[in-house]
Amino acid sequence: MKGFMQLLKKKKELIPLIGFMAFAAAGATTASLYFLFTKTDIVINKSGNPEPWEQVDPTKPQKLLTIHQQWKPIEELQALKKLQK
């Protein structure tokens, strides 16, 4: 750590670069944790539920930004689900 601080004292132009890199790493970590804990289409434990896509609510947008999305059920798929149950 002492050598790193001496390097920063000698080469002050590295300070903004280190700041931007730390900011980018913190942002990437925060975004990853946000998507991991808030989105339903990300599954960690696949053995507990082998078909996790059945749990996703189609009326709730899964994207970070959704513009004019309208969900309509597919008739063939709904008929197939009724036959399987």
> CA–CA separation, 64 vs 33, rounded Å?
14
Can you give the residue range of the structural domain that contains 70?
2-84
pLDDT in tens, 4-36: 889 889 999 999 999 999 999 999 999 999 988
> CA–CA separation, 46 vs 52, rounded Å?
8
Total tally of structural domains belonging to the chain: 1
pLDDT category of residue 46 using cuts at 50, 70 and 90:
low
Q: What is the largest CA-CA distance in the chain?
A: 73
Lookup result for tokens 């913190």: 26
Q: Provide the 8-state DSSP code for 81.
A: H
